[in-house]
Chain A
Amino acid sequence: MRVMVFVKATEDSEKGFAPTPETMAMMQAMGKYNDELRNAGILLTADGLKPSSEGKRIAFDGPGRRVIDGPFAETRELVAGFWLWEVKDMDEAVAWVKRCPNPMPGPSEIEIRPLYEMADWQE
């Protein structure tokens, strides 16, 4: 099954990336973790997102389209990065996420969401 794994944003990630000794060490740990994912054959793709201050939202209401500039509120509901994995089941995904280095300096959250697959659309 495919799962999308979201690194949720924090107040720190919303400030943008700054190369400090701490963030560089985290990047290195994350690089090593990504190597492990790759060597296990489960990593399909991965990327980090810039802060929501550089993002835009388009609000839909019937025919109406309204563009909203970032940054957006509810920081902890925003996404700061993602992976796409091919795993055997949710347990495997959870086990892999648990060994991820904490992506943020403070408390943070990673969310796993399975993708719809062909079989889900069939009877």
Chain B
Amino acid sequence: MTAGETHQAIEAIFRIERARLIAGLARVVRNVDLAEELAQDALVIALSQWPGTGVPANPGAWLMTVAKRRAIDAIRRDKMRVRKHEEIARELDGEVDDTPGMIEAAMNDDLGDELLGLIFTACHPVLSADARAALTLRVIGGLTTDEIARAFLSTGAAIAQRIVRAKRTIGKAGLSFEVPRGVERMARLSSVLEVIYLIFNEGYAATVGDDLVRPGLCREAQRLGRMLAGLMPDDAEVFGLLALMEIQASRLPARLGPDGALVPLTGQDRARWDQLLIRRGLDALARAEALGGDGPYALQAALAACHARARSPADTDWPRIAALYDRLRAVMPTPVVDLNRAVAHSMAFGPEAGLRLVDEIADAAALRNYAPLPAARGDFLFRAGRLAEARSEFETAAKLTRNMREAAFLLARADACAENG
């Protein structure tokens, strides 16, 4: 490696190492904030040294060593809680070893595990879902608070506050930054997957604002999902979630019409679906199924795959989709799944079948004021030729949705009922 590295190049290296650095440091100092600060200190030192010396052969290990030295210094300076800190300092002293071989061995052995530990901690159920998402995007994804604020249409100050509080909660709860084992692992993993899918969905189906999709947020979630699949290669639901996100993201180029309005699945130009992502999704699904995947994400991915495999809407295997929804309902008994199941049955067996199922769930509290319910009901009624009733359902749905473009789409469907009626 030559000398004269630019700051830009060094910062790019740092971005690659940042999450692993924070993970390794957080495990020792038990404090995300301090770990972030130490990592940042290491970057400052690299920026002053590397332009002259060139980038070291193993920049990650170099940064880690420097950051751990800073940790020892910081802890020694700190007169508070002396005994506890000396203990940590001794522990760190033992770890800082300059022989490149030792450093490399330490880096290779543990870092995947440490990163996973940080992911599990940032997604810990003691934190609210919003806090988990913000913290994960910050410490794992490396997004700035402003970038996160833009993604969630919040302010930088509000996101910063959310992250500060999340870090404090982690400290107070005394979380260990370890990967949980045994029974706890399953419960904690579902919390991790939930956060990643929440990030994805906020990009895929924006709940607020003018934009229907924010692809950057989807890409961020996909990256997290791919990381997780690399770190947990034997977990079916990890691959189920990855498959689901890859296949759904494959449709992003076709989901918006030229006027910026949402194009429903059946109306999308399938030639614009991203075939690389479909292939990646189908591969991940095959892996999930080989691992015995019958969980909510694997089943949802199997559903998405039915659409991805169909060359045209008419080729869609609706009876298979209806059957998959019957299975999904068993492991994920939510009103939303019930609603989608009704849609699938309407496609497989006719609008009356859909109406029958949707009427069974119409009273569910969770679906009150839920725009997709009247939207689906409107669609069944429309297809059954009951246009006046369909129109009123579409109008109800348009009033309920918070997304302005979706409202426009629903009102257009209401108008179509009037024209045809």
Contact B227 A91 (CB under 8 A): no
Residue from the list B12, B59, B224 in contact with A41, Cβ < 8 A? B224
Contact code string A73-90 (vs B, CB < 8 Å = 1, else 0): 000000000001010110
Q: How far is the CB of A36 from chain B (nearest CB, A)?
A: 9
Residue A109 CB within 8 A of the other chain: no
Chain A hits for B12, CB < 8 A? 89, 91-92, 94-95
Q: Can you name the residue of chain A whose Cβ is closest to the Cβ of B11?
A: A91
Chain A hits for B156, CB < 8 A? none
A45 to B8, CA, bound (A): 27
A1 to B226, CA, bound (A): 16
Contacts across chains A and B counted by CB atoms under 8 Å: 51
Also in contact, A41 and B280, with CB within 8 A (given A86-B219, A92-B12, A94-B9): no
Q: How far is the CB of B298 from chain A (nearest CB, A)?
A: 20
B interface, over-half SS: helix
Contact B226 A38 (CB under 8 A): yes
Residue from the list B1, B16, B226, B230 in contact with A92, Cβ < 8 A? B16
Also in contact, A39 and B253, with CB within 8 A (given A94-B9, A96-B16): no
Residue A98 CB within 8 A of the other chain: yes
Also in contact, A41 and B223, with CB within 8 A (given A94-B12, A96-B16, A98-B1): yes
Residue A24 CB within 8 A of the other chain: no
Contact B16 A91 (CB under 8 A): no
Residue B15 CB within 8 A of the other chain: yes
Residue B296 CB within 8 A of the other chain: no
Residue A118 CB within 8 A of the other chain: yes
Contact B15 A92 (CB under 8 A): yes
Contact B15 A39 (CB under 8 A): no
Residue B51 CB within 8 A of the other chain: no
Contact code string A102-123 (vs B, CB < 8 Å = 1, else 0): 0000000000000000100000
Query: Contact residues of B with A, CB < 8 Å?
Result: 1, 8-9, 11-13, 15-16, 55, 59, 112, 115, 219, 222-227, 229-231, 253, 276, 280
21 contacts between A and B (CB under 8 A): A39-B112, A39-B115, A40-B227, A40-B230, A41-B227, A42-B223, A42-B226, A44-B276, A44-B280, A45-B276, A45-B280, A84-B276, A86-B222, A86-B223, A89-B12, A91-B12, A92-B12, A94-B9, A94-B12, A95-B12, A95-B16
Further 9 A-B residue pairs, CB within 8 A, beyond A39-B227, A41-B222, A88-B15: A35-B230, A38-B230, A40-B227, A41-B226, A42-B226, A45-B276, A86-B222, A95-B12, A95-B15
